[in-house]
Amino acid sequence: MSLSVSGRTVFTILLISRLLESSMLNAEVKEGEILPPTIQRLMKGYNKYLRPFFDNGPVTVGMSMDIASIDTISEINMDYTATIFLRQRWTDERLVFEGNKSLSLDGRLVELLWVPDTFIVDSKKSFLHDITVENRLIRIFPNGTVLYALRITTTVACNMDLTKYPMDKQTCTLQLESWGYNINDVMFYWTRGNESVSGLDTLQLAQYTVEDHYTSVSEAVYETGNYPKLVFHFELKRSILYFILETYVPSSLLVVLSWVSFWISLSSVPARICIGVTTVLTMTTLMMGARTSLPNANCFIKAIDVYLGICFSFIFGALIEYAVAHFCTLTHMDSHMVMYSHHMHDFDDEMNGIITTISNHNRAKRRKEAAATPTPTPASLELTVSPSSPSGSEPNPEASPPKHTHWCLTALATVRKVLRSINCCHIENPHHIDNYSRVTFPLSFVMVNLLYWIYYLYF
C-alpha cells in the first residue's frame, strides 16, 4: 500500500515538472525565442528538478575561483567584502550530444538546467551583478560537462584576533557548501588544488598584504546530515608603516617633548606646568583618535593601546616629577630657615651666657669692694649691675624673633622630622631630581620600547 502511494507521488511530481517545462518552452516560443535544434533535442525529456545521476551515486562538482577584488576589510564589523568569479563544473549525462565543439548559451537559459545549490557560508550579504545583463555563463561540452560561472560580490564574516593590532596577521576564509544536497547526492572538489583560486597575487590592498593562501576540502555536519564543503584560506598581514607615521611617531615625540621641562628651572612654575598639562591633553586626544577605527570590545587589549598607555605614563610621570621636585625645593628652603633660626638662637644663648658670666664676676668684685668701703661712691652706684639684668642693661626686644614666627618655624621643623622619619622626600639637593630625570626617563623609555617591539614582532 505504501509503495503504491509513493509511486503515485513520484509520478505526480514528474508529471507536474513535465508540464512546467513544456509551458516554459511554449512561452519562449510564443515570445519569438525559438531554441536551436540541438538545444531542443537536449531539452526534450530533460527535468531540471532532478540532479544528474539521480539513481547512480552522487554528482561531483568541481570549483574554481578568481578573486577580482577585496574592497574593504573592516575591523569594526569583522568582515571583508570581495568580488569573485565562481566557476562550477559537473557532468550531466542527459546533455551529451554529438560534435566536437562546446555550446555557449545565454546566461538566462540557466533556468532550464539543473545547477548545484551552492551558497557562501558566513555571508552577511551578497548579490549577483546584472549590468548590463546578469553576469552568468553557461557552456555545455559534447561529453555532457557543464560550465557555470557567476560574478558575485559578497560580504563575509571574518573572526579577527586584534591583540597584536596593528602588527597582527588575520586568517580569513571563504567557505562553499551545498544547501540541500548531502554527501550522498553531491560531492565538491577543487579542480586544481591550491591553484584553483587565482587573482590574489595581483591584488593591491590599502593596509594589508596577502602572505599565503591555500584550499581545503571538508564536510559540514548538521542535524540534517553531512554536506560537502570547500574552504579557501588566505592570510593577511597588516602594513604597519601607516600606523608608525600616524600614531607611534607622534606619541613618541610627545614623550620627548615632556622631557624638555627637565631643563627648565624649578622656579619657572608656569612654563613647566604648561608643558606638562599640554602634553597630557594632547596624548589623551591622540589615544581617543586611535580608538575610533577599532571595535569597542573590552576583550581586546591591543598592542597600540599598550604603547599609547606607556607613552601616557611617561608624560604623566614627567608632570609628577616636577610636582615632587618643586615640593622638595620648598621643604628644603624651609629646613634651611629652621636651621638658621636654630643657629641664631644658639648664638644668642651663647652670647647671653658669656655676658652673664662677666656680669657675675663684676658683681662679686664689687661686693668685695663694697665690704671694704662702707660708703659707696656715685661712680660705683652707676656701675652697679641690677640682678634682674645680667648684662647690666635691659635686653633689646628686637634681638629675639617674635613668638608667632618662632612657633611657625618650630612647626615646620616638626613636619620635616616626620617626613624624614617615614623616608619621604629625603633629598639633600632637590635640583638633583631634574639631573637624575634627564638620564632615567630617556633610558627607561628606550628599554621599554625595545621590550615592546621585540615582544610584539617576534612572539
pLDDT at residue 338 tops 50? no
Contact, 70 vs 96, CB < 8 A? no
Contact, 194 vs 214, CB < 8 A? yes
**Pairing mode of beta strands 197-198, 59-74:** parallel
Average pLDDT over residues 416-427: 57
Question: How do residues 195-240 score in pLDDT, each as one tens digit?
Answer: 999 999 888 898 899 999 999 999 999 999 999 999 999 999 999 9
pLDDT at residue 340 tops 50? no
**Between residues 340 and 90, the one the model is more confident about:** 90
pTM, entire model: 0.70
Question: How do residues 140-172 score in pLDDT, each as one tens digit?
Answer: 999 999 999 999 999 999 999 989 999 999 999
pLDDT band at 298 (very low <50, low <70, confident <90, very high): low
Q: For 457, which DSSP code? A: H
Where does residue 191 fall: left (phi above 0), alpha (psi -120 to 50 degrees), or beta otherwise?
A: alpha
Contact, 326 vs 264, CB < 8 A? no
Cα separation, 411 vs 76, whole angstroms: 60
Q: At 106, is the secondary structure helix, strand, or coil?
A: coil
Q: For 228, which DSSP code? A: E
**What does the pLDDT read at residue 13?**
59
Assign a CATH topology to domain 37-238: Acetylcholine Binding Protein; Chain: A, (2.70.170)
pLDDT at residue 32 tops 60? no
Residue 166 corresponds to which cell in the numbers above? 596593528
Residue 388 corresponds to which cell in the numbers above? 634682674
Q: Which amino acid is at 11?
A: F
Nearest alpha-carbon partner for 310 in 448, 440, 437: 448
Cα separation, 329 vs 182, whole angstroms: 82
Cα separation, 263 vs 300, whole angstroms: 39
Cα separation, 42 vs 144, whole angstroms: 10
Q: What angle do CA 247, 248, 253 make, to 5 degrees?
A: 105
CATH class of domain segment(s) 240-332+421-458: mainly alpha
End-to-end CA distance of the chain: 70
Q: Where are the domains of the chain?
A: 37-238, 240-332+421-458
